[in-house]
Amino acid sequence: MAILSFSELEKKCTDENKPIYEIALEEETVLSGDIADVIRLRVLEDLLAMKDAVKHGLTSEEKAISGWCGDDCVKLVKKFAERPSLFGKIFEKITMYALATAEENLRMGRIVACPTAGSCGIVPSVIIAAAEERKIPEVQQVNGLLTAGMIGLIVSNKVQLAGAVAGCQAECGVASAMAAAALVQMLGGNTGEILNAAALALKNILGLTCDPVCGLVEVPCIKRNAFLAVHAVTAAELALCGVESKIPIDEIVDTLKITGQLMSPLLKETSLGGLAKTKTALELERILHSKNDKA
């Protein structure tokens, strides 16, 4: 990949007077050998798969094998039908769609890892909910997804997007930055605002650990998707009104990597610390192992 940093990306966008999604298309044509129209079609297929995951997840109450999760989205749907959210319809959709997608993942349904399976609900929920409420055309949704992909790709040049490497800051945190960037693109923001939104989202989630109970991508992972989707919208709103991150995004990514290196191995997907070793988590682990032994 020719572009290895956000400063390089911003310079290329400025020099060539092109938005991030066009640069992303050009980069992908070089990497894949496909023409731009084929790449856009592939991204559209991903977008449609995201929408299918949301659709299925909104109505399914099928629980995971653990029995812990799987029906939270339906609970939220019922709640909002009876008592609307204080934050309005778009908030309702974002939180529902994030849970719907994340729960489809635990059921082994078809989802799009963006950038990982554990963080799969964040980008789709923001793009789809915003598009529905603001009547944003499909072509612009694809542009938003291309923009999000470019953000994730550049971050991945410096740090692996895996909880086992750098904690959940490298999964849900990066997904939130991607979603913020996509939203700003879809709402007509410029390159500087897009990168600033990603910076604000990522900066304010540094240090997020990965401590899944029993090693399953369920607790706290499922609900974290809803929280970090809303986090992305906050970053986008701030960026669009001119609020800036005083720390450049490249330096934030460097800090994410260093923070991951400093993070205890007990808090990086090992389930040997954090929430995974609370009193309740240990009891859940005992019950789960007892069920497995009987099976």
What average pLDDT score do residues 272-288 get?
96
CATH number at residue 228: 1.10.4100
Looking at residue 243, the DSSP 8-state letter turns out to be -
Q: How many domains does the chain fold into?
A: 1
Tokens representing residue 46 in the block: 């991903």
What average pLDDT score do residues 265-288 get?
96
What average pLDDT score do residues 38-55 get?
98
Dist. CA 183–CA 177, nearest whole Å:
10
Per-residue model confidence (pLDDT) at position 289: 87
Q: Are 256 and 203 in contact (CB under 8 A)?
A: no
Residue 253 is assigned to a structural domain of this protein: yes
List, for residues 92-150, the tens digit of each pLDDT value.
999 999 999 999 999 999 999 999 999 999 999 999 999 999 999 999 999 999 999 99
Per-residue model confidence (pLDDT) at position 111: 98
Dist. CA 52–CA 46, nearest whole Å:
10
pTM of the model: 0.97
pLDDT confidence tier of residue 2, bands split at 50, 70 and 90: confident
Per-residue model confidence (pLDDT) at position 1: 54
Identify the CA nearest to 117 among candidates 130, 107, 131.
Answer: 107
Residue 274 is assigned to a structural domain of this protein: yes
Per-residue model confidence (pLDDT) at position 215: 95
Dist. CA 166–CA 261, nearest whole Å:
7
Residue 77, domain extent: 7-294
Burial (0-12, 13-18, 19+ Cβ within 10 Å), 34? middle
Per-residue model confidence (pLDDT) at position 295: 61
Residue 1 is assigned to a structural domain of this protein: no
Give me the helices (H) in 64-107, please: 72-82, 89-106
Cα-based distances in Å from 254 to 175, 216, 261: 17, 29, 11
pLDDT confidence tier of residue 291, bands split at 50, 70 and 90: confident
Residue 31 is assigned to a structural domain of this protein: yes
Residue 107 is assigned to a structural domain of this protein: yes
Residue 2 is assigned to a structural domain of this protein: no
List, for residues 178-189, the tens digit of each pLDDT value.
999 999 999 999
Dist. CA 213–CA 216, nearest whole Å:
6
